[in-house]
Chain A
């Protein structure tokens, strides 16, 4: 079955760039589906960050649009998140997940806690 696994630094300094990767197994990301990032600050709710289609088209949350980018690496069967100029408000568990038209996010990765602190 399809599995997703987030990886990246657990600690990022303020003003620097957060970079995470989601490795996909059990399915070729070039074949279809849409791939997304969602985050959850400690003790709070879920916030959609953005989605990339297998075609490469991207959609971002307007609240983050000037700082975020999502890309595909089909050679490694993974997709990535970059969030620039981070502050403490970007401290959260970051999840990657798969969806498509008419279907919500499923499955999800296990999540990775990223703390922004000097």
Chain B
């Protein structure tokens, strides 16, 4: 199985800050990397596909990058609604695997 490791596990930031979350795969995943946002009591929402493609309706302050085994999610200019938990997921091979999550909290 491909292990997905996110860092940090938690992060405190203020409205207006820019933050970066990192996701590392235990082997190459050909860029098939997704980022999801999950708010308490809600289903995850897809933000980014194929490492850097913004899903329809997702604000442009979200961006993704990376290749090989190392990927990043950057949120530029945090808004109050961005405080949530973020997960990466590889969908290159089965079994599909998720990172353990990064909880983004208000400072």
Which residues of A are in contact with B by a Cβ distance under 8 Å? 36, 45-48, 51, 59-63, 95, 97, 99, 102-111
Contact = CB atoms under 8 A, between A and B. Distances in A.
Contacts, number: 56
29 contacts: A36-B96, A45-B98, A45-B99, A46-B36, A46-B87, A46-B101, A48-B97, A48-B98, A51-B94, A51-B96, A60-B95, A63-B95, A95-B44, A97-B43, A99-B91, A102-B32, A102-B49, A102-B50, A103-B49, A104-B36, A104-B46, A104-B91, A105-B36, A105-B46, A105-B89, A106-B55, A108-B44, A108-B45, A111-B43
B1 interface: yes
Contacts of A111: 43
Do most interface residues of chain A lie in helix, strand or loop, or is the interface mixed?
loop
Interface residues of B, number: 23
B69 interface: no
Contacts of A97: 43
B34 interface: yes
A103 B49 CA distance: 6
Interface of B: 1, 32, 34, 36, 42-46, 49-50, 55, 87, 89, 91, 94-101
A104 B43 contact: no
Given A61-B95, A104-B34, A109 B50 contact: no
Contact of A48 (B36, B49, B95, B101): B95
